[in-house]
Amino acid sequence: MPVSTLTSKGQLTVPQEIREELHLRKGQRIEFRVDAKRRLILEPLTNEIRKLKGMVRSPRKRAPSLAEIRRAIADGYARR
């Protein structure tokens, strides 16, 4: 059974066996909870897929050119 020691700064090192079992990565956030029997529950936090929208730019999309922007503005005024 893996063991860790609490440092004077209140820090713990999660043993490698546990990190591998939970697929933990450097910088990943972990939630600590204590249940009714005073047992510690460690749970990796994951982002909902909806929160990730827009974080990575699609390589297929490119920024519009100045000519395309001007054309879109002109089209908008023409529709009024």
Q: Is residue 19 part of a domain?
A: yes
Take residue 33 and report the two structure tokens written for it.
Answer: 């909870």
Q: Which domain holds residue 43?
A: 1-47
> Does 68 reside within a domain?
no
Residue 62: the pLDDT is 77
Residue 27, amino acid:
G
pLDDT value at position 80? 66
At 8-48, the pLDDT tens digits run 999 999 999 999 998 888 888 899 999 999 999 988 887 66
Q: Is residue 31 part of a domain?
A: yes
Burial class (CB in 10 A: 0-12, 13-18, 19+), 22: middle
Q: Is residue 55 part of a domain?
A: no
User: How many structural domains compose the chain?
Assistant: 1
pLDDT score, position 49:
66
Tell me whether residue 60 is in a domain.
no
In this structure, what CATH number is given to the domain that contains residue 17? 2.10.260.10
52 located within any domain? no
DSSP letter string over 9-59?
TS--PPPHHHHHHHT--TT--EEEEE-TT--EEEEE----GGGGTTSS--T
Has residue 78 been placed in a domain? no
Which pLDDT score, from 0 to 100, does residue 41 have?
Answer: 92
Q: What's the pLDDT band for 77 if we cut at 50, 70, 90?
A: confident
Assigned domain for 56 exists = no
Query: Residue 14's closest CA among 26, 4, 1?
Result: 4
Q: What is the pLDDT, as a whole number, of residue 52?
A: 67
